[in-house]
Amino acid sequence: MKFAFIRDMDGENKRMPREERFPVSFMCGMLEVSRAGYYAWLKRAPSARAMADGELTALIVAIDVEHKGRYGVDRIHRELARRGHAHSPRRVRRRARAAGPACGPPRPHKVTTVPGKGHPSATASGIHLGSGAKVERTVPLD
């Protein structure tokens, strides 16, 4: 984490005037890491887990695009399992969040129509909605 911070700051330093830059040796000293360790970390190849995370993220994005952003994390997890990629739901959720697709909980259902007095479902239960959308009972309860 410290090395990644130094790398990001060094990238920003390159866009700044020379007198405003922070040297890598200064940043390493402030974060109490060795400069040699930082440069060794820079040259190191990505770990197997990082490579697997990249592949999983690509699959998650592909499923999200394939289903036009309608799938949430649970459905994406099921689809991955169906395709033969067994991962924990927590890992799928973490990778989906990092990838940025808008897979989250579904929106609540919004009622767009109000049945009238003649609607069969309203009269069968003995409840109808008046003009003020207030619930009234037409059949007394015994």
Yes or no: say if 66 and 101 are a contact pair by the CB < 8 Å rule: no
* pLDDT recorded at residue 78: 93
* pLDDT recorded at residue 40: 92
Phi, psi (degrees; rounded to nearest 5) at 22: -100, 125
Q: Cα(28)–Cα(2) distance, rounded to whole angstroms?
A: 9
The total of other beta-carbon atoms located within 10 Å of residue 6's CB is: 23
Least confident span in 7-16, 38-47, 53-62, 84-93: 7-16
Residue 55 above 80 pLDDT?
yes
What percent of the chain has a predicted confidence (pLDDT) above 90? 25
Residue 123 above 50 pLDDT?
no
DSSP characters over 43-85: HSPPPHHHHHHHHHHHHHHHHHHHTTT---HHHHHHHHHHTT-
Question: pLDDT-based confidence at 131, cuts 50/70/90?
Answer: low
The whole-chain average pLDDT of the chain stands at 80
* pLDDT recorded at residue 4: 87
pLDDT (tens digit per residue) in 17-36: 888 888 888 888 988 999 99
* pLDDT recorded at residue 80: 93
* pLDDT recorded at residue 129: 53
